[in-house]
Structure 1
Amino acid sequence: MKRILFSICLFVGLASVSMAQSAQYESVMTKNVTMLDDSANFNPDRLLEIGNTFERIAAAEKTQWLPFYYASYCYVMSALMQRDNDKVDDLADKAAVNIEQAEAISPKNDEINCIKSLVATSRIRVDPPTRGMKYGMESAELLAQANQINQENPRVYMLQGQSLFYTPEQFGGSKTEAKKKFQTALEKFSAFKPASAIAPHWGEAYTKGLLAQIK
């Protein structure tokens, strides 16, 4: 009888600890994801700070893919916004390491493919003439794979449109085709429901901004 009671108490105790840890994880993640919803934080240095925080969360929560995902997101966005091209590859490398760790936990994930596509895109800006074809094709292939996984993900269409928008017409870009992608993305955003408060949900305002430039 004592053994049964001990087992029950142990189980309850472990469950309580697990619930507390889960609540703490949700709380700290929500706090930092909310920061990414604030445009005031979208500058290279601030994104690096938030990315470092997500890396620390990831180090403590090694079975969760979202901290690695958001760390990578912050680093690649910082890379894309850098004025100093000498810093881009290092940031892209940091983003790549984190998103690979996220993928190891959650394979065949369309959201992860979107970030991997952005990492490839960020590398182009260092030297477009020599890197454009290689990383442009890599980025497009990753988005095509993401679309196969989930055709309802608005970020896939947004990123495809972004590529068409910024690529010169002589290299396959098209504002007309970009507009179609952005319109599709906004249709998908209107129906999109994130799996949770900390699940990826970025991109709608940015899509509207790019579409407005075309109009």
Structure 2
Amino acid sequence: MKRILFALLLSAGITSVSMAQSAQYEGAMTKQIAMLDDYNNFNPQKLQELANTFERIGAAEKTQWLPFYYAGYCNVMNAFLEKDQSKVDAIADKAAADIAIADTLSPKNDEVYVVKSLIASSRISVDPQSRGKQYGMEAANWQSEAAKINSENPRVYILQGQSLFYTPEQFGGSKTEAKKKFELALQKFSTFKPASSIAPHWGERQAQHLISQIK
């Protein structure tokens, strides 16, 4: 009887600690994601701070993919913002290292593949003429893989639209076709429900802004 009582108390104690850790994790993630959602924080310094914090959360949690996903996302956004093209690859490498961990923890994840596509796209800016074909195809492949997993993910269509929007017409770009992709993304957003309060949900405002740029 004493053994049974001890086992029950031990189990209850473990459950209590686990719930406390889960609440602490979600609280920390919620705080950082709210900062990431604030457009005023979309600058190199703040994004780097957020990436570092997400990496620390990931190091503490070890089995959670989302901290490394967000760290990779913050780093790749910094790669796009970097004006010194000689530094872009190093920043993209940081993003790739983070997203590789997320990929290991959550294989065949469409959100992870979306960031992989972004990382490939960020490398094009270093030298569009020599890198466009290689990394453009890589970015498109990751978009395709993401769509196979979840065709309702609106971020897939935002990336497809961006590729068409920023690619010159002589190389296959089209503002008209880009607009269709952005409109499809917004349509998907109207029914999209994130898997949790801390799951990826970015992109709607970005799609709206890009549509406004198309005359």
TM-score by length of 1: 0.99
Is structure 2 residue 23 aligned with structure 1 residue 23? yes
Whole-Å Cα distance in 2 between the matches of residues 212 and 70 of structure 1? Answer: 27
Post-superposition shift, 1:85? 1.2
Aligned ranges for residues 200-215 of structure 1 at < 5 Å?
Answer: 200-215=200-215
Aligned ranges for residues 184-203 of structure 1 at < 5 Å?
Answer: 184-203=184-203
Partner of 2:107: 107
Partner of 2:183: 183
Whole-Å Cα distance in 2 between the matches of residues 7 and 197 of structure 1? Answer: 34
Is structure 2 residue 43 aligned with structure 1 residue 43? yes
Per-residue CA distance 1:96-132 (angstroms, 9 max, x = gap): 0111110111111111110000000001101111111
**Residue identity (%):** 67
Whole-Å Cα distance in 1 between the matches of residues 190 and 88 of structure 2? Answer: 33
Give the CA RMSD over aligned residues: 0.7
Aligned ranges for residues 31-180 of structure 1 at < 5 Å?
Answer: 31-180=31-180
- Runs of 4+, deviation exceeding 3 Å: none
Which amino acid counterpart does residue 9 of structure 1 have in structure 2?
A: L
Whole-Å Cα distance in 2 between the matches of residues 114 and 180 of structure 1? Answer: 19
Per-residue CA distance 1:40-87 (angstroms, 9 max, x = gap): 000111101100000000101111000000000000001101111122
Whole-Å Cα distance in 1 between the matches of residues 84 and 10 of structure 2? Answer: 55
Per-residue CA distance 1:147-190 (angstroms, 9 max, x = gap): 11111000000010001000011111111110110110010011
Whole-Å Cα distance in 2 between the matches of residues 167 and 56 of structure 1? Answer: 37
Whole-Å Cα distance in 1 between the matches of residues 48 and 58 of structure 2? Answer: 15
Post-superposition shift, 1:4? 1.0
Post-superposition shift, 1:197? 1.2
Which amino acid counterpart does residue 80 of structure 1 have in structure 2?
A: F
TM-score by length of 2: 0.99
Q: Aligned pairs, how many? A: 215
Whole-Å Cα distance in 1 between the matches of residues 44 and 206 of structure 2? Answer: 17
Whole-Å Cα distance in 2 between the matches of residues 86 and 161 of structure 1? Answer: 27
Aligned partner of residue 108 in structure 1, secondary structure: coil
Whole-Å Cα distance in 1 between the matches of residues 84 and 136 of structure 2? Answer: 21
Whole-Å Cα distance in 1 between the matches of residues 192 and 13 of structure 2? Answer: 38
Whole-Å Cα distance in 2 between the matches of residues 122 and 62 of structure 1? Answer: 27
Partner of 2:9: 9
